[in-house]
Structure 1
Amino acid sequence: MNHQDGVTQTSLRSLLSAEGRRDPNPFYAELHRHGQVCLLPDPSDRFDVVVHGYDAVHQALRDPALHVMTSDYPDRRDGRLWRTHPALRVLVSSIFFMEGEQHTTVRRMFSQAFSARRVAALEPAVERIVARRLDRLAELGAGGTTVDLLADFALPVPSDVVGELLGVPEHDRDWFPERVRAFGAILDLGAGVWRFQKAADKAAEDLTGYFHELVGKRRAEPRDDLVSELVADDVELADDVLVANLLTMYNGGFVTTSHLIGNSVRILLDDPAEKARVLADPQRADGFIQEVLRYEPPTHFSIRWAAADTEVAGVPISKDRRVLVLLGAANRDPAKFTDPDTFDPGRDEGQPLSFSAGMHYCLGAVLTKLESRVAVPMLLRRFPDLALAGEPGARTTLMLRGYESLPVRVT
């Protein structure tokens, strides 16, 4: 690292290396030794600024001058070639890449599904879904047979929950994970994600076709689900935009939750004392899940670009600069969290920024936390002798960060 006008210059090379992807926290710790914001002068980094301190990340996520990557940005910077990729068209048509009035309209439409009252009313249904999946886990793991906790529990539970919320029939839900994984692979950092583009485009075509058909069915025969409510809404929304948002809501609604459950279980199985405490006191699950979100969040970054000159933590950011906002680093900021590399469910030092902040704060945050704090204690009560049956392997992504599999024995 070196300095320019009092601001540290760095590179993302170590973060995006194999070692950095396996464990980004040493890189985050190094960043924190150099303030809240660093410059990225190397063009190969594909960003101009990295924001990593807790206060700076909070400020950046709320700065009206820092926009998500709306369609006009890649049009101006890289031309219109991106529009030939179905996966990129879906992403840019979704709420995650919207600003202004369109963002407000779509967010209002979808926020009805994720209000605190509606989510609280879902808790009995979440408990029933978890219980049913635990029964299935018991069948698969009978006699000490190794089972994959991700494939057989952590993925299907949130898939069932968001599927019921949206109105995706139960018999269709097993069709989604393979396509969702392919679609999500292009969301990570680094030029290497482009090798996944063809598979992501095919997945996007499959998923948009499915949701177009579902929208048509609910328009003809409404049911008691979110898709029926959305197609009946007075607000005019093009079907392509509605479908893009249904697709990304469904994908985001269960993949991040599945990784949160998987990361939580791995921490518990590595810490028998904490496992015993959560098992003895289900109320402890709230603080435990909150700490997992800080310590091992399923999402480590967000991306912004400067639509106008601005500054973050006193560092000027000129118009059109690309900004990498490191949520995972903010959650390990020693200026905010005491001993940030220590897992402590009892800490009370403020909210982690894993769900972002400001106008793009995650709509599904309340539901994700509810599912996790219900599923994890129920899993432990049903299988108090739950144990790892093998190493799950390294996590190598920073977006949708979790294990590919989690082999366990339930008896």
Structure 2
Amino acid sequence: MPAVTTRTAPLTEPNWYRHLPAGRDVHLLHEGVVAVTGNDAVHQILAHPAVVAEHPLKASSRALGPNVLDADGPQHRAFRALLAPVLSAGRIDDYARTLMPRLIDDLTEELAGVRTNEFDARYAHRIPYGLVCAVLGIDTALEERFHTLTRPLAQLLDYPTVETPQTHRCAAELLDLIEEQRIARDGSGTSLLETIERTRDRKAITLSDSEVRSTAVLFFIAGTETSSAYITSLVYCIGRTVFGLEELLDSEVRAHFLEEVLRLYPPVQTVVRFAAEDITLDGVTVPRHSAILASIAAANRDPRVFAYPDRLVIGRDTKRSAPFAVGAHACPGAVLAKTEFGLLTARLAERFREIAVVGDERRIESQSFSHPVDFTVHFRVK
């Protein structure tokens, strides 16, 4: 089937996929750029062996050097092997018993009685930044400094990419700061930096010290900004949904609710990949070297898979939802993130009588680290 060129999709807008012609899953936007939207097609393209993440001109590669986000094949597997011990079931259980409850309690106490239109800017990052700083072995006094440096870096991973002298300065300073913390670590052997260095040496993984630091930086960005985005979406959905908060004390209801919010508001709406060779998908030839925009948001709202896709329906089958992507580059921290979100939701339900969105412009920000913006939320205590 010949490709149909579409030039109307405003790619700077979240939910840009809604502007594409209905009835097609693969869209040639212009020469060298292809959008993939249908649920089956997105699953296929992200798991396709000839679809890669690496590209020599990617801004994240230039700013951070070789890293887990932009590598493929054996190098990508080596990067992921460094993170595996830190994200093991045992480590996550330990975080859930010791670290997460304290961070969650601190946030919920701070939110008691608050009415704010800046939840995403002032509060959503508190838990993920506290968690990732602790996991990395970073001095908690530096948490806000890391937040200041990381926010501009998120623009390097977004689409369209925003690359400025500031993003490169922030990347360099963040790498230096992580190296300073590595040198100053307490030697307990439990931090991410110590763990990944030990894993590298024990498994004879051929990655340099700078590549280890880049892995730590990407862990920091992914582990904080995606979680901050989702926590914003979570609070927004609680505030706009008509049910009693006490329903979320039921673990099964809570699990279904979290999955449905992830389907509606995946933290990363668009995943950018590249065709290593000519690929045929849905009868359309995707030429070699094409940039492929895989729309997680479109896949998660495909009406052929999810009835009434724009509704929040607790209990629906979400097996085909892909909020953490699929394939070799699927998010390695998904279980850690879901554990964090589950504990937070349970504590919100325990602590508050009502969480109400009382003003809402119904806008979404960003493609990566995507979440609702311009809403006011009131946390009413019991």
TM-score normalised to structure 2 length: 0.89
Q: 2:131: which partner in 1?
A: 161
Higher helix share: 1
Deviation per residue, 1:245-290 (Å, 9 max, x gap)? 1011011101111111110111111123264532x52431111111
Q: 1:55: which partner in 2?
A: 40
- Are 1:134 and 1:153, in contact at CA under 8 Å, matched by a contact in 2? no
Deviation per residue, 1:303-332 (Å, 9 max, x gap)? 111112222233222322221111111111
CA distance in 2: counterparts of 1:186 and 1:152, whole angstroms:
22
CA distance in 1: counterparts of 2:277 and 2:206, whole angstroms:
31
Q: 2:266: which partner in 1?
A: 297
Residue 359 of structure 1 aligns to a residue in which SS?
coil
Q: In 2 relative to 1, CA 403–295 (structure 1 residues): closer, same or farther, beyond 3 Å? A: closer
**Is there any run of 5+ residues in structure 1 with no aligned partner, and where?**
75-81
Q: 1:9: which partner in 2?
A: 5
- Are 1:151 and 1:405, in contact at CA under 8 Å, matched by a contact in 2? no
Query: Is residue 408 of structure 1 aligned with residue 374 of structure 2?
Result: no
- In the TM superposition, 1:6-405 aligns within 5 A as 6-11=2-7, 13-16=9-12, 20-21=13-14, 23-24=15-16, 26-27=18-19, 30-31=20-21, 33-40=22-29, 42-43=30-31, 47-71=32-56, 74=57, 88-125=61-98, 126-138=100-112, 141=113, 146=116, 148-190=118-160, 193-194=161-162, 196-218=163-185, 221-233=187-199, 234=201, 235-273=205-243, 275=245, 277-278=247-248, 280-388=249-357, 390-391=359-360, 394-403=363-372
Deviation per residue, 1:99-134 (Å, 9 max, x gap)? 121111111111221123432332123122211222
Letter in 2 for 1:26: R
Q: In 2 relative to 1, CA 12–368 (structure 1 residues): closer, same or farther, beyond 3 Å? A: farther
Task: Give identity over the alignment, percent.
Answer: 26
CA distance in 1: counterparts of 2:117 and 2:305, whole angstroms:
39
Residue 9 of structure 1 aligns to a residue in which SS?
coil
Q: In 2 relative to 1, CA 274–353 (structure 1 residues): closer, same or farther, beyond 3 Å? A: farther
CA distance in 2: counterparts of 1:184 and 1:12, whole angstroms:
26
Q: In 2 relative to 1, CA 26–184 (structure 1 residues): closer, same or farther, beyond 3 Å? A: same
Q: In 2 relative to 1, CA 368–58 (structure 1 residues): closer, same or farther, beyond 3 Å? A: same
Q: In 2 relative to 1, CA 401–319 (structure 1 residues): closer, same or farther, beyond 3 Å? A: same
Number of residues of Structure 1 aligned to a counterpart in Structure 2: 375
CA distance in 1: counterparts of 2:196 and 2:147, whole angstroms:
24
- Are 2:64 and 2:171, in contact at CA under 8 Å, matched by a contact in 1? no
Residue 384 of structure 1 aligns to a residue in which SS?
strand
**Is there any run of 5+ residues in structure 2 with no aligned partner, and where?**
none
- Are 2:67 and 2:211, in contact at CA under 8 Å, matched by a contact in 1? yes
Q: Name the stretch that deviates more: 129-138 or 168-177.
A: 129-138
TM-score normalised to structure 1 length: 0.83
